[in-house]
Chain A
Amino acid sequence: LAKTTQPISMDSYEGQEVNITCSHNNIATNDYITWYQQFPSQGPRFIIQGYKTKVTNEVASLFIPADRKSSTLSLPRVSLSDTAVYYCLVGDDNTDKLIFGTGTRLQVFP
């Protein structure tokens, strides 16, 4: 499984756009990039997944450059309720086990 590296923590204010970058230098050809969100005392929740270029859904966008060695999760106009830990994971359909790592702790201030 490719190792990922993310910032330990980030701070933001309500209404701002937040970009969390994940480094995965050893990503394999068949690997996808997935992001999860976890609130305190809850299980993680799937946010978005992508393979290349840009993916957008109702809550976030995922930007993946051509070399795929990194990816950026973009949260538009964050609110206090976006305060959580965000995990970046990579793997393919043979990935039985997800390695969550320490994630990025996002704190949104009013």
Chain B
Amino acid sequence: EADIYQTPRYLVIGTGKKITLECSQTMGHDKMYWYQQDPGMELHLIHYSYGVNSTEKGDLSSESTVSRIRTEHFPLTLESARPSHTSQYLCASSELASGSINEQFFGPGTRLTVL
């Protein structure tokens, strides 16, 4: 079944640790996105990609980095986690544009807590 997956779902780590949040989709979508959302607040786009070897920064400045080596995989990395990185991280994907706004399919999210 075509879907979008994120692991881990929950992560609690100490300050200074390097972490990678995984995102994979089996829908063959070219576009992928990372959003950051604090509880009860709006989503902020932090990274997106048009396809393999394409990465762009979003509207919200983030200390994280992303890579897109394979179409289906779009991991997000924090080299040195800090308490200010505590948030929910949502991954999404969509097809390339075809006139209207393409529907974005979201993963379940990773809730990160940095102590």
**A residues in contact (CB < 8 Å) with B:** 32, 34, 41-46, 49, 51, 89-103
Chain A residues, Cβ within 8 Å of B35: 100
Report yes or no: A49 in contact with B100, Cβ–Cβ below 8 A: yes
Check: B12 CB closer than 8 A to any chain A CB: no
A37 to chain B, nearest CB (A): 11
A95→B97 CA distance, assembly (Å)? 8
Whole-angstrom distance between the alpha carbons of A23 and B91 in the complex? 28
A43 to B48, CA, bound (A): 16
Given A41-B109, A43-B109, A103-B42, A93 and B88 contact (CB-CB distance below 8 Å): no
Contact across chains for B98 and A49 when beta carbons are under 8 A apart = no
**Could you list some 30 contacts between A and B, CB below 8 A?**
A34-B103, A42-B109, A43-B90, A43-B91, A43-B92, A43-B106, A43-B107, A43-B108, A43-B109, A45-B106, A46-B103, A46-B104, A46-B105, A49-B100, A90-B101, A93-B97, A93-B98, A93-B101, A93-B102, A95-B97, A95-B101, A96-B48, A96-B50, A97-B45, A97-B59, A98-B45, A98-B101, A101-B42, A102-B41, A102-B42
Chain B CB count within 10 A is highest, among A93, A96, A102, for: A96
* Cβ-closest chain A residue relative to B104: A98
Chain A to chain B: the 10 pairs with minimum beta-carbon distance, closest first = A43-B106, A93-B97, A100-B43, A46-B103, A32-B100, A43-B90, A91-B101, A32-B101, A102-B42, A34-B101
